[in-house]
Every structure is written in C-alpha cells, then in structure tokens.
Chain A
Amino acid sequence: GQQVMQIPQYQHVQEGEDFTTYCNSSTTLSNIQWYKQRPGGHPVFLIQLVKSGEVKKQKRLTFQFGEAKKNSSLHITATQTTDVGTYFCAGISGTASKLTFGTGTRLQVTL
C-alpha cells in the first residue's frame, strides 16, 4: 500500500534559524496537503499543492511539490516559537481514494 515518509522525525532549532521537512511518497500523488498540529491539538490544514513542480508561499513558509509528484517539502524561514508543533504532509494516490498522512516532523523552537 501507499506509504508516506517524512524526514526528519524531530528537529530542534534556535529561534531565527531555518527549518525544512521533506515528504516522500512510495506512489505518485494526485496532490499534496500540509497540516500543522500544535501539542495537544488536532491537525489544521495549511495548504494544498496540485501541479508538478508547484511552489507556494505563506509568509515565512514555502511549500514545494516535486516534478514527479512523489515528494514535497516545507521550508520555514527564521523560525519563531509560534512555529512549534508537528508538521504532516498528506496525499491521495491514484484510485486509492484514501487520504494518507506522512509520519510527521516535530519541530521544537527555543529562544
């Protein structure tokens, strides 16, 4: 079945440093979504990418969808303590019709 892996599992940065998480799918994705989950909370939708090679920005966050539509990345510039949480990618592959989540990357930001 479809597997979606993310690296790293955990990253600890100083406030102001950059952060990147990578998402890799075992199968080609129809699109990719990114979610953020704060500690003790539920996942909240951030963005969706559909086109091969697509790049989208949200303030300090930059999202990319790979050319082969099997990988994606989320880059945060100049992290802040409010960025703390776990970031998940998610996608649907072919006719599977299941929204599969990646393993997640937990980000810790300290002053």
Chain B
Amino acid sequence: NAGVTQTPKFQVLKTGQSMTLQCAQDMNHNSMYWYRQDPGMGLRLIYYSASEGTTDKGEVPNGYNVSRLNKREFSLRLESAAPSQTSVYFCASTVHIIEATEAFFGQGTRLTVV
C-alpha cells in the first residue's frame, strides 16, 4: 500500500501563478486534511474534508481552495501564489474525523514562491 501520496514533491512558482497540489490515499479513509508547515513552526490546518462531498475551512484558508474529488482524492489549489505561501504542505487522512483516529501523512510538497 502506498498510503498517502502527494504530488509534486517540490515546486517553485512565480508570484501570481496558480497550481494544484494533488493528494490521494488508498486506505479507504473518510477524512482528509491539508496542513502547511513554515520553517521551525507547527502544522496549521488549511482545509479539511470530514467525508466525501464535504469541505470546511481550517485556521488559515485564505488564498486556497480545495476539492474533494472522490473518497480517494483531495486537492489544494493556489489561485494566485504569493511569497507568504512559501511553505511545506502536508496532506493527511484518517478513518473518521469524529473519532479522531490516527492520521497518516504524505511526504509533503515543498513549495517556494518567488
């Protein structure tokens, strides 16, 4: 099993460019999350999806949009990238959000906006 797969692993964008970060899990998990981690900082929740067809804002949603395409996939889109969005982005999934079971993380996407 691959677990949680994120693509791309690295990306450099120019200010104003757009891009979509892809995340897929093969564990049949209901809930998925997007976090960002700035250097030396903790994980801040951007958006989450408790189940297929639902999405909700986290702590830092501004500048991002998400799409829960199906149970497996949860994508994060930056419409107009800004240097402040330079960060490492992690996707995670759990069986069920209410019961707060173990979260599995992807390897991360290292994004630099210049």
**Chain A interface (Cβ within 8 Å of chain B)?**
1, 6, 30-31, 33, 35, 42-45, 48, 88, 90-92, 97-104, 106
Q: What 1/0 flags go to B3-24 for Cβ under 8 Å of A?
A: 0000000000000000000000
Contact A42 B108 (CB under 8 A): yes
Number of interface residues of B (CB under 8 A): 27
Contact A42 B90 (CB under 8 A): yes
Q: Does B95 contact A (CB under 8 A)?
A: no
Residues in B with CB closer than 8 Å to A33 are 100, 102-103
List of 8 A-B pairs having minimum Cβ-Cβ separation, nearest first: A101-B43, A42-B105, A45-B102, A103-B42, A92-B100, A104-B42, A97-B97, A31-B100
User: Known: A30-B100, A48-B100, A92-B100. Contact between A99 and B90, CB under 8 A?
Assistant: no
Residue of A nearest to B47 (CB): A98
Contact A98 B56 (CB under 8 A): yes
- Measured CB to CB, the closest approach of chain B to A95, in angstroms, equals 9
Residues in A with CB closer than 8 Å to B90 are 42-43
Residues in A with CB closer than 8 Å to B104 are 45
Contact A42 B42 (CB under 8 A): no
Residues in A with CB closer than 8 Å to B58 are 98
Contact A88 B43 (CB under 8 A): yes
Residue of B nearest to A89 (CB): B42
Contact B103 A45 (CB under 8 A): yes
- Measured CB to CB, the closest approach of chain B to A47, in angstroms, equals 9
Q: What 1/0 flags go to B84-114 for Cβ under 8 Å of A?
A: 0000001010100110111111111000000
Query: Can you give 26 A-B contacts (C-beta < 8 A)?
Result: A1-B59, A6-B42, A42-B90, A43-B103, A44-B105, A45-B103, A45-B104, A48-B100, A90-B103, A91-B100, A92-B97, A97-B48, A97-B98, A98-B45, A99-B33, A99-B45, A99-B94, A99-B97, A99-B100, A99-B103, A100-B59, A101-B35, A101-B45, A102-B42, A104-B41, A104-B43
